[in-house]
Chains A and B, each alone.
Chain A
Amino acid sequence: MRIRTALAGVCILVLSSIGFAAPAHAAESIGSCVVDVSMQVEELREQGLSDYEIENELESQAEACVEAPNPVLPDPVELIWITIAFSVLLVLGLKFAFPAVSKAMEDRSERIRSDLEAAEKAKEDAQAEQARYKESLADAKGEANRIIEEARLAAEALRAERTTAADAEAADIRAKANADAESIKAQALADLREEVTAIALGAAERVVGNIDTAAQRRLIDDYIDQVGSQN
């Protein structure tokens, strides 16, 4: 807003200077100059000049009229007006426009500086954030590696434990199977022995059961003799 106000003031001052300078250029023309010169004849006569002198004077003034103005050097009057206008404009500019422009420039510089500082700070923040990110990434990688290592160790321990348990179980099963086999074998032997014994004793009983009375008497006599011999 201030910049706009300052620019408007400058435009007004330039247009005003152009307006003031315009009458200076409109004061002179060849026609009016010649008329002015011709009207000076009487004045020159009254001054007592001779016709020849008057003619020379008029001729010189007329030549001055037709003489072209200097394209580089302004008209002195115009130059004065321009100087005055410029001075006014300079004063006004220094008074109003320059502080506003200067302040706007300072503000802009300050804003740019603050923007640059903000950008620098943002860059530093970004770099710090990046560093933190890298650090956290490194930590995460380290943590991940640690977790993986722990998981590997745990898996290894579990595998070893299960292997040991499986070996122990297999050993128990083998031992039990061996014990069962031994037990079955012993039982089979015992059954066989018992059966053989039963068969043998059954045969013996059948033989004994068929002994005649005379043999029975002899057995009784032997018994009595045995009892009698123990006296």
Chain B
Amino acid sequence: MADERVAVAYADALYTVTRVEGNVERVEDELFRIARALESSDELRSALAQQQTPAARRQQIVEDLLGSAADPTTVAIISLLVGVGRSAELPAIIDAFVERAARESGRLVATVRAAVALTDEQQNRLAAALSAQLGHDVTVKVIVDPSVLGGVVTQIGDTVIDGSIRHRLNQLREAI
């Protein structure tokens, strides 16, 4: 609970800064991707969370990884969090940031996991279908996750719509 409050506090502060910068949508998208990359890479997460490594060195690693490909605000946010020793809470802070941004814009964020990337047309169709079902605008955030095997898993808040092959295999395992 304390970590969640810390994450929300950081997310609110960073969202305020980002909104002032005027590039909320891009930063939100980049932060979301960075969070998913951190979740899927133990090595990267360990390197950024290493307390024995000086903060400046860890921040240098962030800048080297992101470089000019990311928005400077995104790089600054990640560098700040790594510098203050919040690398472990990075995904939670970023998720709170995304939720805050979606809430501010009156949208819902759907985290979509699929074995392959969705095309733009599929993302639009899925966003439209979810928006029609939920009665809110929905922004789709796609995560390529090979463990899904096939199909899609969509999570919106506490709601999960699981149409993955992995889920069907698990159902088959339970049935057997």
Is B172 part of the contact surface with A, judged by Cβ < 8 Å?
A: yes
For window 115-154 of B, CB contacts with A under 8 Å fall at 115-116, 118-119, 122, 125-126, 128-130, 132-133, 149-152, 154
- Complex contacts, B81 vs chain A, CB 8 Å: none
Is B1 part of the contact surface with A, judged by Cβ < 8 Å?
A: no
Total contacts A-B at CB 8 Å: 67
Which residues of chain B have a CB within 8 Å of any CB of chain A? Answer: 114-116, 118-119, 122, 125-126, 128-130, 132-133, 149-152, 154, 161, 163, 165, 169, 172-173, 176
Known: A197-B173, A201-B173, A215-B150. A227 touches B129 (CB 8 A): yes
Structural contact, A220 and B165, CB atoms closer than 8 A: no
Is A231 part of the contact surface with B, judged by Cβ < 8 Å?
A: yes
In the bound complex, CA of A205 to CA of B122 (Å)? 25
In the bound complex, CA of A197 to CA of B169 (Å)? 10
Which of B119, B132, B163 makes the CB contact (< 8 A) with A223?
B163
Known: A223-B163, A226-B163. A208 touches B129 (CB 8 A): no
- Complex contacts, B116 vs chain A, CB 8 Å: 213, 216-217, 220
Structural contact, B114 and A220, CB atoms closer than 8 A: yes
Known: A209-B149, A217-B116. A224 touches B172 (CB 8 A): no
CB-CB contacts of A201-214 with B at 8 A, as 1s and 0s?
10011001101010
Known: A197-B176, A220-B114, A220-B122. A227 touches B130 (CB 8 A): yes
- Complex contacts, A221 vs chain B, CB 8 Å: 122
Whole-angstrom distance between the Cβ of A138 and the nearest chain B Cβ: 85
For window 84-102 of A, CB contacts with B under 8 Å fall at none
Is A113 part of the contact surface with B, judged by Cβ < 8 Å?
A: no
- Complex contacts, A39 vs chain B, CB 8 Å: none
19 A-B pairs within 8 Å (CB atoms) are namely: A201-B172, A208-B150, A208-B165, A215-B150, A216-B115, A219-B165, A220-B118, A220-B151, A222-B163, A224-B152, A227-B133, A227-B154, A227-B161, A227-B163, A228-B128, A228-B133, A230-B133, A231-B129, A231-B132
